[in-house]
Amino acid sequence: MPGGKRIAAVGAIGVLGLAVHTSLPAAAARFPGRTAAPAARAAPGAKAAPDAPAAGAGAGTVARNEVLPAQPGPGGPGGGTAARQDAAQASAFRQIILPDILIVAPKGLTPAQTARLRKIAGVRNMITFDGAQISAGGRTVSVIGVNPATFRSWVPLATASDQAFWSALSTGDFVASQAAGKRLGLRAGAKYRLNGATTQVETFATAAKLGLSGVDLLVNEATSRKLGLVHQVAGLISAPGVSMSTLTSKVQRILGPKGRIEVLRSKQLPVASVISGTRPATYLQLFKASAAMYCPGLSWTVLAAIGQIESADGTNVGPSTAGAMGPMQFLPSTWAVWGTDGFGETGTPNILDPYDAVPSAARMLCADGAAAGGQSLYHAIFDYNHANWYVNEVLSLAAEYGADYR
């Protein structure tokens, strides 16, 4: 490497401190068409302003006292929603990818290894990146070098949606995790010495939630080359349809004995219990009660994520161009099969009434095996809306809610 300095490879000591937190992301509902400003994750039940879908004020806290509307104003599974239609026109970064494993090759992945890893049956997405331990302002830090345009799909959605963050990284500034920014006392706009194989003086832009514990700083690929980071030292793989034992076994054979693997597949989502006979007064209560009563074993966070993504919890009840309606966006034909009178209500199930719509969604998911979790849950959400990006966004946001609201 230039200058002859040794840089600690991000290996067993550095890189395998990385733990991708898929409860992210941040995740919030999509922010279709919005690329100019950082986006905040909406909490379950948080209402959005009409021109700011899903970005609830006070994001990060549950609106526990928000009363559900008795009768939503007039406005599905498999049908499409306004949010879904907007997302179809959004740029590629809005596809959030849930990593299943982190891989580390202390000397760097060879092109042949990368090609073989991508060809493993069931691998849908893979990304590799540079990394090393360097010093910044005299402090030892872990830094990775990434392509901003592709790496942003692997981070929490609120961060992925922050165009200013990625623009700064693309133009050569460095960015940090929230924890590192605070620990190192980094100041936006200030210049810092980054000492690797060479010394580079770079501007610090901003900090955000990365979902990667153990990663302090991000630089772009040009800066990575200047610093002499270990090329292609690590990667993330998403293979949601493959059993973890099969995936890790195949990957380990390709990496060899010195390769390291860390399992990242989302931990089990929380399941709620409710007191029988109580009527939910908020969306948060409604999601929990509906899961517990209409699909025991299903995490309430899945319903919360679907409700937020489909309609921002009743803010946009449609109809969509496909005719989907209500807080959970059912097509009328699907509603005719799965529409349910919830929580003691009588009469014809109302597609616009959240007390009917959310239990109906729970019932439909349950029939598809969602309560079993794992791949059964993945396939049940896919049946709700036939798109892999949709499943990934639901699971990502559900994991975020599970981490924040236990």
End-to-end CA distance of the chain: 48
CA gap 227, 86 in Å, rounded: 40
- As given in the structure block, the two tokens for residue 321 are 């161009």
Residues (pLDDT < 50) of the chain are 1-76, 78-93
pTM over 0.75: no
CA gap 273, 296 in Å, rounded: 9
Closest of 153, 181, 149 to residue 167, by C-alpha: 149
Which pLDDT belongs to residue 70?
Answer: 39
For CATH 1.10.530, list the domain ranges present in the chain. Answer: 82-92+269-404
Query: For the structural domain made of 82-92+269-404, what CATH number should be given?
Result: 1.10.530
- As given in the structure block, the two tokens for residue 69 are 């509307």
CA gap 288, 406 in Å, rounded: 11
Which pLDDT belongs to residue 160?
Answer: 80
Which pLDDT belongs to residue 39?
Answer: 30
Report which residue type is found at 110: T
Closest of 397, 11, 12, 376 to residue 211, by C-alpha: 397
Q: Strand 125-136 and strand 212-213: pairing?
A: unpaired
CA gap 111, 114 in Å, rounded: 5
CA gap 312, 303 in Å, rounded: 12
Closest of 272, 270, 240 to residue 390, by C-alpha: 240
Number of H helices and E strands in the chain, helices first, is 14, 12
Per residue in 135-166, pLDDT (tens digit) is 988 889 989 999 999 998 888 767 887 889 99
Pair 109, 128: CB distance under 8 Å: yes
Which pLDDT belongs to residue 336?
Answer: 93
Own/partner pairs, 346-351, CB within 8 angstroms, 24+ separation: 350/71, 351/325, 351/326
Which pLDDT belongs to residue 128?
Answer: 95
Pair 228, 122: CB distance under 8 Å: no
Per residue in 230-268, pLDDT (tens digit) is 999 999 998 877 788 899 999 999 999 999 888 877 655
Which pLDDT belongs to residue 334?
Answer: 93
